[in-house]
A and B are shown apart, each in its own frame.
Chain A
């Protein structure tokens, strides 16, 4: 250990940043342990605790902004005090974690408020808020931890909360299966993350960020690449990136606020955080970065293609999330040119995607929990607020000029193109194509949901949601519109994050930014037009049309990702375990039983010689004596 980064010690107001985690944990504990007594006021406590953490977060970030050295570290206690494995529990508030705590508590708080209305008629509402608070606490630990171990503790904590919330309606078999699938696919990634942590211990002797990033230059090239790929595996699991993307759409079985907060705005972006946080490691390995960017590009295409063929409104949004996080991976895979841009997209996406999910939840709320868009239609007039906020989120997502997605997505595409050469054209081309597909599937969603003829089931009476639900949607719609402009022009995010990622290298533009914008806008327009041609002009069938092209079939089946997992991992896994059970019973235990039987059989056969006849004993004695004499002779003369 030669160098460590010296973070300033947290003093004054900032020495209480542990409250950010303690408050929601305490609230979760009360909600989960108090039992039915807390049913009456549980949701208020749940919302209140997050509101308090949001207020504290704002206060801390403002305080942080006033410091010269904008990275403060707070040591809490010695977690694992074993020599050689010193793990100190501590927190780090720096510009990167600061934007995350604002996002988590801000958007999280809004979604908590929304949930009061959304879950009003659910008998498990108190439990819901307990899990939700638990999630916020774990997520805050994930981004505030000052070591990879603290990150991992939060990482698994959000995985647990995600499991509990996907399986919230546990009587539904689909929800139970989806929760299990999510946790296990995440665990595949966790194995990578864990091995990376052990590797850090073995090579650097520490996982504190201060030690690791201070000594990152000492890592051998191969080790750095191995670390980068292992961390990437972890990130792919949490963020639903190829090849671990299959769990995220299934996770929509959980209540819609869960989809909005966990499976769109915050938890699934933890992978992006992990890579951005590990920037000093990724900066050492170009091949590691390239793999990140390729994974991002591949995933964004998968997400777009699958999203085009879905009829379930939440699944369209889920695949859209997969694809938008692909953009973020693509960005952070570009290294210093892309870190800040990736985080910018993460923030803007947090606003508009949360808003879209809440809008979808509002639609479902008014449609008796129907999720099939083929049974929607003509809702624009019935749900005016939902329609308006959803439209703003939609425009932000497809990158309509000067809305928030426009800023962040265009910057990613520019940065990808600026890589130059085949790499730049391929990555940038995928990103541009993805923008067009995004416009297509989102316009399709809008047309099927809000326009055309009503295709409702009998007995459905669409109505606008109560104010407690629409108010958060309105706030998020404001974010969808203005966040990009504010974060680029008023509070420049890139400048704020510069202490973490270093200055952005000046690259020669392959294409002038204005040309890129025009190309992207044109492609988006084509996507919208295509949606109009294929969906808007026609009557939407109430059931999924059959006899469609193989491409659509593949997209409906999620590009055969599930089939692949099933045939390559699940079935052989089942055969393997069955085979092992067989060997265990017949082979291992069989050998033991066989030996026992042999002993038993042998002794009973020996026992038969004890037959009580003097003549047979005499014969035995004779035979024995001959053997002895023969042996003696053999030894004597042999």
Chain B
């Protein structure tokens, strides 16, 4: 079942490539069909998932086939409460991009195939339970995104794509080094995450374990991205097409933070605890740095890109705080639940924001906020969705971001009080930057050049994302109920 979810988009992509000249928008409609089918499967998985405790006790829909037996690597996949929400997010966001793709005219067939390929890669990564499998998907995501930016981007797309590729690829090399370290350090040697988590092989080797964590942390931190590894992000986003940005920020960034909860924390619990204070610091600096630098941006897309650094900083803060021994286990589990919620929430809200920037580019060919103003008058749908996404992003109750950040702060205050209080200041800065952006884009005298309102397919792509963010914001129980048991398992592993 899970393998079908993972590879269905890839099969669709291959079929598309074998279809020599699809007429008109046929390729895009085929893409939408495949994405809908995949989403339906994911919903089926969600409904039949029985809520196992995750990493130590087994996974839902687990599959295991020998792959490279020589090095103890297998095709091992499964879902738990940490990965299932991200798998669902992936399916939703890719479907939104598929619908949004109805407005893309350049080389529709390849565009669709590339996104379908990326969907397989992203879903595959979240269900991977083997380090080599994880790494393969991790690297393929970089390749796929490189082609999206270079092929369908604008401005200095080639340069931005190259920087993105080199930077994140170097990061992935560090990650590989760390994985090899785990392999070497384990006995018997294995790449299997579940076995590694059970034995936690490097717990009694603080120096070697520390180096392995360093390599893995750097690899994942580049992807997340946290300060100071974030500078590839703004150019990549600015030059990427809207859907590419939505996937990059909405799904690809989560690979980094997901790696922390899936790999680093359960497999290196003692080492994670030792360095938790540093991770908390990295998180808080990312929160404040991302927010303050975003505040000074003149380009709306760069601004949204920097808020990703800020939002992912909250996740890192929570995961770091989960490793601090100060607070009680219950609070730390709240922090981890909040971190996973934040990944989902950020995917929905930032995905919507980036798709909205696409509307800006299509109409005016610029992201500079000084070129806009008074858009609320001519484009009420655009204005309403942008305002909703902005208020959701700045943590207004009623949206998913509030649920996530509330848990993160409430859970982190006990273990890491000073850092948490500093991070709460981040919500002040994000309020300022989003409201200032809204003022510059939407408010003010109506401009003469006009700004046509969102077209049908744009609304259809963006509105459901906001709808989901509001549903999670008002009735989060169904989501938190899935995440919490798995988060608890991770926290229990950290401090038995």
Q: Give residues in A with beta carbon < 8 Å to B.
A: 77-85, 149, 152-153, 156-157, 160, 163, 167, 170-171, 173, 175-177, 179-180, 183-184, 187-188, 190-191, 194-195, 197-199, 201-202, 573-574, 576-578, 580-581, 584, 588-589, 591-592, 596
Contacts and interface: CB of A to CB of B under 8 A. Distances in A.
B337 A592 contact: no
B468 interface: no
B384 to A, nearest CB: 8
Contacts of A199: 413
Contact of B331 (A170, A190, A202, A580): A202
A202 B439 contact: no
Given A80-B480, A82-B337, A152 B436 contact: no
Contacts of A149: 406
Contact of B446 (A80, A160, A171, A581): A171
A191 B423 CA distance: 10
Contacts of A588: 227-228, 230-231
Contact of A183 (B167, B431, B446): B431
Nearest to A199: B413
Closest 3 pairs (CB-CB, A-B): A84-B330, A589-B231, A176-B443
A581 B293 contact: yes
Interface string B263-301: 000000000000000000000000001001101110000
Interface in B379-411: 391, 396-398, 403, 406-407, 409-411
Interface of A is mostly: helix
8 contacts: A153-B398, A173-B444, A175-B443, A195-B424, A197-B410, A201-B410, A588-B228, A592-B231
A452 B421 CA distance: 56
- Residue in A149, A180, A190, A584 whose Cβ sees the most chain B Cβ within 10 Å: A584
A580 B292 contact: yes
B476 A79 contact: yes
Given A79-B476, A577-B296, 19 more contacts: A80-B477, A82-B334, A83-B334, A84-B330, A85-B334, A156-B397, A160-B391, A167-B443, A171-B377, A180-B438, A184-B432, A184-B435, A187-B427, A187-B428, A191-B428, A198-B410, A198-B420, A576-B292, A596-B166
B25 to A, nearest CB: 28
Contacts of B488: 83
A589 B476 CA distance: 38
A592 B444 contact: no
Interface in B415-430: 420-421, 424-425, 427-428
A152 B406 CA distance: 11
A229 to B, nearest CB: 13
Interface in B198-255: 227-228, 230-232
Interface residues of B, number: 59
A194 B403 contact: no
Nearest to A169: B443
Contacts of A191: 424-425, 427-428
B79 to A, nearest CB: 20
B414 interface: yes
B296 A581 contact: yes
Interface of B is mostly: helix
A84 B443 contact: no
Contacts of B420: 198
Contact of A171 (B328, B374, B438): B374
B293 A577 contact: yes
Interface of B: 166-167, 227-228, 230-232, 289, 292-293, 295-297, 327-328, 330-331, 333-334, 337, 374, 376-377, 391, 396-398, 403, 406-407, 409-411, 413-414, 420-421, 424-425, 427-428, 431-432, 435-436, 438-439, 442-446, 475-477, 480-481, 484, 488
A84 B334 contact: yes
A557 B331 CA distance: 48
Nearest to B166: A596
A548 B439 CA distance: 36
A173 B446 CA distance: 11
B432 A82 contact: no
- Residue in B228, B391, B410, B427 whose Cβ sees the most chain A Cβ within 10 Å: B410
Given A171-B377, A201-B413, A580-B292, A82 B407 contact: yes
A608 to B, nearest CB: 23
A199 B410 CA distance: 8
Contacts of A84: 328, 330-331, 333-334, 411
Contacts of A157: 397-398
Contacts of A577: 292-293, 295-296
B414 A202 contact: yes
Contacts of B296: 574, 577-578, 580-581
A84 B412 CA distance: 12
Nearest to A170: B443
B484 A83 contact: yes
B407 A80 contact: yes
A204 to B, nearest CB: 12
Contacts of A190: 427-428
Contacts of B410: 85, 197-198, 201-202
Contacts of B432: 180, 184, 187
Contacts of B414: 202
B425 A85 contact: no
Given A83-B333, A84-B333, A184-B431, A580 B289 contact: yes
A171 B445 contact: yes
A592 B442 CA distance: 36
A170 B444 contact: yes
- Residue in B166, B397, B409 whose Cβ sees the most chain A Cβ within 10 Å: B397
Contacts of B428: 184, 187-188, 190-191
Contacts of A85: 334, 407, 410-411
Given A194-B424, A198-B413, A580-B292, A78 B477 contact: yes
A596 B163 CA distance: 10
A105 to B, nearest CB: 22
Nearest to A200: B410
A336 to B, nearest CB: 31
B439 A177 contact: yes
Contact of B409 (A81, A167, A194): A194
Nearest to A127: B380
Contacts of B167: 592
Nearest to A596: B166
A198 B411 CA distance: 8
Contacts of B398: 153, 156-157
Contacts of A79: 476-477
